[in-house]
Amino acid sequence: MISKIKKILDKKNKSKIICITAYSKNVAEAIDPYTDIILVGDSLGSVLYNYNTTRKVTLEQMLEHSKSARLGIKNSLMVVDMPYRTYRNKKIALKNAKRIIKETKCDAVKLEGGSSILKIIEYLIKNKIAVMGHLGILPQSVKGKFKFKGKKIKERNKIFNDAKLLQDKGVFSIVLECVETTLAKQITKSLKIPTIGIGSSHHCDGQVLVLDDLIGLNETKIKFVKKFGNIKKNIRKAVNKFKKEVLGKKYPTKKYSY
């Protein structure tokens, strides 16, 4: 059987990779037929808990949401974000990555950063943990406003070199978050492994979005988010219908009663 990771690698230069976040079972089940990768992202901190930084997300929160999402995933590769400070050195990273994989049965973990966490990533991979990289904007490191990456030459070179270093250490793909278009293109062309873009142009090998943003459940004005649906409107419609029928004593009829 071809491993799920091999399937992702084989898509490079052939077919775009679809990656979407899910934080729970029913949502994961709904998107699984259409995704290659389901990411339990620490974006759940802002999306579900209104945190102003993903640094507040705990390992316990990631474990519980991932266990739920796992129940809905049959086909997609499941990746779980390692939250802030859970990979502050290689021993702690391995202990936590093993726990995440054991308890959530995910296929891989994602860590934010390049050269500064290279030794940690290398150690995880040596210990048979599949790792997805994350470069560009690193939400766990950002203080203040998010600005796109790759405007200045020094920054461009750093991101490009980091991408190469991560590939050399064995990550199976890299998320590029808000990386300037020509840099994202250059990185994607230079790597053998796929890049998954978010706000980083169509040149990436795949795209990732936060589900709640793309279905219009989470209100956001981020430039790269396109609203592909308006689920909030549909929820309100259904709940309003329910309310009207209850108030009008039309629900529950005999059919819905014991």
Binding site for ligand KIV (CB under 6 A): 21, 39, 41-43, 81, 175, 177, 198, 208, 210
Q: Which of 214, 204, 145 is nearest to 177 (CA)?
A: 204
Please report how many Cα atoms fall inside a 13 Å half-sphere around the Cα of residue 8, on the Cβ side.
Answer: 30
Of 106 and 198, CB closest to ligand KIV? 198
| Least distance (Å) between residue 216 CB and ligand KIV | 17
- Catalytic residue from among 112, 122, 177, 180: 177
Task: In whole angstroms, give the CA distance from residue 38 to residue 162.
Answer: 24
Assess whether 177 carries a catalytic annotation.
yes
Q: Which is nearer to ligand KIV, 177 or 180 (CB)?
A: 177
CB-nearer residue toward ligand KIV: 81 or 180: 81
Residue with the closest Cβ to ligand KIV? 41
Q: Would you say 42 or 205 has its CB closer to ligand KIV?
A: 42
Nearer to ligand KIV, 141 or 240 (CB): 141
Nearest distance, CB of residue 13 and ligand KIV, angstroms: 22
What lies within 8 Å, CB to CB, of 56 at 6+ separation is 45, 49, 84
Q: How many CB atoms lie within 10 A of CB 118?
A: 16
3-state class of 9 per DSSP?
Answer: helix
Task: Compute CA 208 distance to the chain's CA centroid, rounded to the nearest angstrom.
Answer: 7
Report whether 80 contacts 22 (CB < 8 A): no
Q: Across the chain, how many H-helices and E-strands are there?
A: 10, 8
C-alpha–C-alpha distance, residues 92 and 111, integer Å: 13
Question: How many C-beta neighbours within 10 Å does residue 177 have?
Answer: 22
d(CA 9, CA 152): 30
Shortest distance, CB of residue 148 to ligand KIV, whole angstroms?
14
User: Cα–Cα distance between 116 and 47 in angstroms, integer?
Assistant: 28
Inter-residue contact 206 to 38 (CB < 8 Å): no
Give the catalytic positions in this structure: 177
